[in-house]
Amino acid sequence: MLVPDSEPFTAQVLDCQKALEHLGFDAVNRASLHLTLGRVGDANTLSQAALRSLSASARDAVPASFNLVAVPLTASTGAIRYSVAPWHPILELHAALDAAGKRHGIPQDRSAASLRPHIGIAYCNRPVPADAVRASISPLRDLPPVLMRIHDVQLVELRRRGNSYIWTTIHRIPLR
């Protein structure tokens, strides 16, 4: 999981969420903004020793820190989100983490080919006409992209609470 550390990005997200409140979606709180790279398994079945080994192996394999650009705003049937670019450093990071996981018998559940990097800002909690969502996000698509620096990746225990996700960071892996 990548967690953007950018005040300009967070400020823009909060403005977008405010502009979209009328849709009744569940906004992602600022502390929960993230980009998911993949899942490595069920927290109840992975030992702490295996997670420590995975984290140590990943530290030796991760690429250098990199910049991402968050591009407003698109939607799917389940969420409103930012696209991110470029994908190359994300895919490189995913490959390094997947290789580390495979060395320890805990590969990610998502292949790089199926990864669609994005940062969700609101989750749909009921059927909403697509035309209403498109009309609402249309003016927000003209907002400027926001540059952010990615310094680390986190191995987290992810849980669903109500209509949102929460997590506990198990290991923080600094990028080189």
DSSP 36-83: -------TTTS-HHHHHHHHHHHHHH----EEEEEEEEEE-SSEEEEE
| pLDDT score at 4 | 67
| pLDDT score at 1 | 65
List pLDDT tens digits, range 81-92: 999 999 999 999
Strands 66-75 and 146-150: antiparallel
Other CB atoms within 10 Å distance of the CB of residue 141: 11
User: Among the ranges 43-47, 109-113, 114-118, which has the highest mean pLDDT value?
Assistant: 114-118
Burial of 49 (0-12, 13-18, 19+ CB in 10 A): exposed
Q: Give the pTM.
A: 0.89
Please tell us whether the domain made up of 7-174 is placed in CATH 3.40.50.2300: no
**pLDDT above 70: residue 51:** yes
Q: How confident is the model at residue 134 (pLDDT cuts 50, 70, 90)?
A: very high
Delimit the domains of the chain by residue range.
7-174
Q: How confident is the model at residue 148 (pLDDT cuts 50, 70, 90)?
A: very high
| pLDDT score at 93 | 93
Mean pLDDT of 145-160: 90
More confident call, 114 vs 69: 69
